[in-house]
Chains A and B, each alone.
Chain A
Amino acid sequence: MKRVRGSLIAVAIAGAFAAGAAQAQISDNVVKIGVLSDMSSLYTDLAGAGSVAAARMAVEDSGIEKRGYKVEIVSADHQNKPDVGSAIARQWYDTDKVDVIVDVPNSGVALAVNQITRDKGKAFLVSGAASSDLTGKACSPNTIHWTYDTWMLANGTGGAIVKTGGDTWFFLTADYAFGHALERDTEAVVLKSGGKVLGKVRHPLNTQDFSSFLLQAQASKAKIIGLANAGGDTTNSIKQAAEFGIVKGGQNLAGLLVFLTDVHALGLPTAQGLILTNTFYWDQNDQSRAFAKRFAERDKGIHPTMLHAGVYSAVTHYLKAVEALKSDDGTKVIAKMKETPTDDPLFGKGTIRADGRKIHPAYLVEVKKPAESKGPWDYYKVRATIPADQAFRPLKDGECPLVK
């Protein structure tokens, strides 16, 4: 079992002074964080082991262990299967005394864990999952949705592109609930901003060859081809679009969900010019660069994606709330987290709304040309910043039952 041992001796010594009072409310005297992520397929690189590393760094940086608290981190692979994920979550809560689950890329698994967490009165910090339902119909007093969601992606990328003249769209959508949601939200934004949708095609998940779909997109003569898919599907469609001369022919690609690791996998010669929305980029300021350097040393040289940053930021804020309350009771901690403004080196200052939505700015970025890049992982230039109050879905539109 993977655990953070910290410096046990230091803890023991410091603990001798501080522990007695501090741990009165901490269940079994340990704050236990469970990182539930995809360790074996699609999302391994952009979350996976990196999320565990990020959580560990947050614990170390918080210095909470020096003040007499014991913190443990466990991790598991949900294999992108809702039933596997929910079984692990139950077991963690019931027998392993886990207090909070973090990350969970994959909306299906996240929705299941969301419900279980609520039933058990624990805490759930979502970084990896995209579904905006988590702060909408399925919102819960025990869940905070940290990093991004489908609404924000659609709004950021879709809105910005229409404003700069990309007003006719063709969607290439993964034929899955997630792809449909992304497509639906983006289409709404495009139409609202005065654009038009000329066509769409829905491809099965994990398609290898996109040439047929790309030809259809080409024939539509849309200015923008919106990629409402993820992971390997996105990288393959971008790669083959370059091959079929689609970008050279004057059409542009809009990646609705592209991560730093995807760009790394594609390489700049193929990915250059791609426009996408992120809430975190490692090369923003000194603090984020310092974080990226330390992170890369721990995760096979991978630089942090926004999901990794989200895990770090969420765990940091969680530990602050635990310390303030001197309790790790899930419902109370989440309530405390919501009422305290957030402040961390990666996302800066922010807030958490009543529906569980963490609010921070989003960045519209463009992938650099090979000549502009100084080396591996130097990939983005920021084109626009979407202010925090406009980046996410307005509270009233979410249909969250907690907000009345």
Chain B
Amino acid sequence: MQALFGQLLVGLINGAFYAMLSLGLAVIFGLLNIINFTHGAQYMMGAFCAWFLLNKAGVGYWWSLLIAPVVVGAFGMLIERTMLARLYKLDHLYGLLLTFGLALIIQGLFRNEFGSSGMPYQIPTELAGGLNLGFMFLPKYRAWVIIASLAVCFSTWYVIERTKLGSYLRAATENPALVQAFGINVPRMITLTFGFGVGLAALAGVMAAPIYQVNPLMGADMIIVVFAVVVIGGMGSIMGAILTGFGLGVVEGLTKYFYAEASNTVIFVIMVIVLLIKPAGLFGRER
């Protein structure tokens, strides 16, 4: 029983990563209708950015949390302006294919430059060590990940679903011409939103750096799983992505305990079942 508690908690921590990553993906899909396959690569870039800041500029973890998302987000906006903006009128498929190609390029370039085994990044000293919870040893850093992720997820949800800015955003996706007529610069808003979504991926990357290796291929397989999370939650549903992210982390954690071999596959089993029963996902509405 104690072991199970530990597994649940660890699952929840992984869920925190899924939630943060799928949140960015869901924001971009929900507001821009783009399936951003570069998300995994941008997550990797976030981690690399943190590594660079530490090793080349002496900037520590805490500042990286702020700087990396801004830098990578700016890079995302550049892509949005120069490439994605030309595809808005077309089928989703083209956005997906373009970003898939971009992901290959980015990962390829990083791998050629930095090799495949990755770089170390130490846990910041403030968060080193851990707490003994009785049923398990909880590293402080993991506790921080859960708290930070919850804070980021719910503030994002609040901004988009409950503030005036958010309502403009949502309106702009329903009817850009009308919102433009109210004097709001819709293209700029869209660019900023894309940058924000990408920034979330980079933030997750910085948070992942001390736990996982900073590795050019760290996001390559992640993207498929995160994408599945978004689909299960309901494409474009912010709350859906958050809840599903945490939920699937827990389910995956339990699978790792009872049938470890299947832990990468269980998410797809769930996806098939959900899509067959509730086509628009758990929290989505059909469009």
Direct contact of A and B (CB under 8 A): yes
Chain A residues with CB under 8 Å of chain B are 40-46, 175, 201-204, 206-209, 211-213, 215-216, 218-219, 231-232, 235-236, 239-240, 243-245, 249, 261-262, 264-267, 269-270, 300, 302
CB of B213 within 8 A of CB of A215, answer no
Q: Can you give 24 contacting A-B residue pairs, CB < 8 Å?
A: A42-B116, A44-B111, A45-B115, A201-B260, A203-B263, A204-B260, A208-B212, A208-B221, A212-B256, A215-B136, A218-B137, A219-B3, A231-B117, A232-B117, A235-B117, A239-B120, A239-B211, A243-B141, A243-B211, A244-B139, A245-B137, A265-B119, A266-B213, A267-B122
B contact residues around A44 at 8 Å (CB) = 111, 115-116
A296 CB → nearest B CB, Å: 14
Q: Which residues of B contact A262 (CB under 8 A)?
A: 117
| Alpha-carbon gap, A35 to B265, bound state (A) | 35
Q: Are A40 and B137 in contact (CB under 8 A)?
A: no
Knowing A41-B217, A265-B213, the reply to whether A243 touches B139 (Cβ < 8 A) is yes
Alpha-carbon distance between A266 and B13 when the two chains are bound, in angstroms = 22
Q: Please tell me if the beta carbons of A265 and B139 are within 8 angstroms of each other in the complex.
A: no
Judge whether B264 is part of the interface by a CB distance below 8 angstroms. Answer: yes
Residue of A nearest to B138 (CB): A244
Which among B116, B118, B123 has the highest number of chain A CB atoms within 10 Å?
B116
User: Of A204, A240, A270, which contacts B263 at CB under 8 A?
Assistant: A204
Q: Which residues of B contact A208 (CB under 8 A)?
A: 212, 218, 221-222
Instruction: Tell me, rounded to whole Å, the shortest Cβ–Cβ distance linking A75 to chain B.
Output: 15
- In B56-94, the 8 Å CB interface with A consists of none
- A261 nearest CB across to chain B (Å): 5
* B264 x A207 contact (CB < 8 A): yes
Residue from B11, B139, B257, B260 having most chain A Cβ neighbours under 10 A? B260
Q: Of A236, A243, A300, which one neighbours B123 at CB under 8 angstroms? A: A243
| B120 adjacent to A211 (CB under 8 Å) | no
State A245–B221 Cα separation when bound (angstroms): 28
**Pair A265/B263 contact, Cβ less than 8 Å:** no
Interface string of B6-46 (1 = CB under 8 A from A): 11001101100000000000000000000000000000000
Check B115 against A266 for contact (C-beta < 8 Å): no
Q: How far is the CA of A265 from the CA of B260 in the complex (A)?
A: 27
**Shortest beta-carbon distance from A325 to chain B in Å:** 38
Which residues of chain B from 240 to 265 have a CB within 8 Å of any chain A CB?
A: 253, 256-257, 260-261, 263-265
> Are A235 and B118 in touch, CB under 8 angstroms?
yes
Q: Is the CB of A43 within 8 A of B211?
A: no
Select which of B122, B139, B221 is within 8 A of A206 by beta carbon. B221
Task: State whether the Cβ of B124 lies closer than 8 Å to any Cβ in chain A.
Answer: no
Given contacts A261-B117, A270-B120, 13 further A-B contacts (CB under 8 A): A40-B111, A45-B117, A203-B263, A208-B212, A209-B211, A211-B10, A216-B3, A219-B3, A232-B215, A235-B118, A265-B120, A269-B122, A302-B115
Does residue B108 face the partner (Cβ distance < 8 Å to A)? yes
- Does any Cβ of A come within 8 Å of B101's Cβ? no
Q: Using known A-B contacts A175-B261, A209-B14, A261-B117, determine if residue A249 contacts B137 with beta carbons closer than 8 Å.
A: yes
Which B residue's beta carbon lies closest to that of A46? B117
Taking CB atoms, residues of chain A closer than 8 Å to B253 are 212
CB pair A245–B139 under 8 Å, yes or no, is yes
Tell me if A239 and B137 are in contact (CB < 8 A): no
Q: A343 to nearest B CB, angstroms?
A: 32
**Given the known A-B contacts A45-B115, A45-B117, A244-B130, are A213 and B256 also in contact in the complex, defined by CB atoms under 8 Å?**
yes
**Least distance between B146 CB and chain A CB atoms (Å):** 13
A245 in contact with B130 given A203-B260, A265-B119 (CB within 8 Å): yes
Chain A residues closer than 8 Å to B256, beta-carbon distance:
201, 203, 212-213
Contact of A264 among B117, B212, B222, B264 (CB under 8 A): B117
- Interchain nearest-CB distance for B268 vs A (Å): 12
A243 to B123, CA, bound (A): 9
Leading 3 A-B pairs by shortest Cβ distance: A267-B120, A265-B117, A212-B256
Contact (A232, B123) CB under 8 Å given A212-B257, A215-B6, A244-B139: no
Compute how far the CA of A207 lies from the CA of B211 in the bound complex, rounded to whole angstroms: 13
Chain B residues within an 8 Å CB radius of A269: 120, 122
Q: Are A216 and B10 in contact (CB under 8 A)?
A: no
8 Å CB interface, B98-133 against A: 108, 111, 115-120, 122-123, 130
Residues on B with C-beta less than 8 A from A206 are 221
A71 to B92, CA, bound (A): 52
Whether B111 pairs with A244 at a CB distance below 8 angstroms is no
Q: Which of B10, B11, B141, B253 has the most CB of A within 10 A?
A: B10
Give the distance to chain B from A292, nearest Cβ to Cβ, in Å.
Answer: 17
By beta carbon, the residue of chain A nearest B222 is A208
Contact among B10, B222, B264 for A215, CB-based, below 8 A: B10
Q: Are B213 and A232 in contact (CB under 8 A)?
A: yes
Q: Contacts of B117 on A, CB cut-off 8 Å?
A: 45-46, 231-232, 235, 261-262, 264-265
Bound Cα distance from A236 to B119, whole angstroms: 11
**How distant is the Cα of A265 from the Cα of B212 in the complex, in angstroms?**
11
Smallest distance from the beta carbon of A284 to chain B beta carbons, Å?
22
Closest chain-B Cβ to A192's Cβ sits at a distance in Å of 27
A332 to chain B, nearest CB (A): 37
- Establish whether residues B10 and A41, one from each chain, have CB atoms under 8 Å apart when the complex forms: no
> Scoring B residues 129 to 154 as 1 if CB is less than 8 Å from chain A, else 0, what string do you get?
01000001101011000000000000
Q: Are B116 and A213 in contact (CB under 8 A)?
A: no
Chain A residues in 8 Å Cβ range of B13: 211
| Closest-CB distance, B172 to chain A (whole angstroms) | 35
Task: Say whether, besides A265-B118, A267-B120, A236 and B139 are in contact (CB < 8 Å).
Answer: no
A249 to B123, CA, bound (A): 19
| B261 A204 Cβ-Cβ under 8 A | yes
Q: Which A residues touch B11, using CB under 8 A?
A: 212
**Do B212 and A236 touch across chains, with their CB atoms under 8 A apart?**
yes
Residue from A40, A43, A269 with most neighbouring chain B CB atoms (10 Å): A40
Q: Which residues of A contact B122 (CB under 8 A)?
A: 267, 269-270
